[in-house]
Amino acid sequence: MYSIKTTIALFNKSGFKISPKDIAAIIKAARAAFSLKTRNDEINIILVKDAEIKRLNKKFLKKDRATDVITFNYPHDTPCAPGEKRPYGDVYICADQAKRQAKAYGMSLLSELIILAVHGTLHLQGYEDYKTRDRVRMSLKTVQILKKLTF
């Protein structure tokens, strides 16, 4: 018998100093957004700089600009042995963009990183924000998740 629990890891490649307490808060928010609680998967959150998110955006989405979040899902039907973690997806968050957005919205960098972690985790589960109605649905879900969190 083994425990079924999705692992969420954060890798800080942004150059920003993020405390262990803040890392735990970001992971907690992503975990709250992940609704597939019975899976034995792994999600990676990677904090990056403008140059890296712009490179990813150009290579995979054909957009030559920085953005706040880009997500990549892995094939979910990959067999895995009992007890092993299956890669579910990666959430790339641009810390530089998060800092700019936090300033524009009058909030802390941590608050914006938490919002983006939730947003990215929802993207991994199929939420989209290309159309207005989808953006509204995703925003409402994000607010619903954030209201349940305590730090």
> For the chain, which residues make up each domain, given as ranges?
7-148
Is the pLDDT assigned to residue 76 strictly greater than 90? no
CB 86 within 8 A of CB 39: yes
Per-residue pLDDT, 12: 98
Tens of pLDDT, residue by residue over 15-35, are 999 999 999 999 999 999 998
Per-residue pLDDT, 11: 98
Per-residue pLDDT, 86: 80
Is the pLDDT assigned to residue 98 strictly greater than 80? yes
Per-residue pLDDT, 39: 66
Number of H helices, E strands in the chain: 5, 4
Write the class of the CATH domain 7-148. alpha beta
Per-residue pLDDT, 77: 76
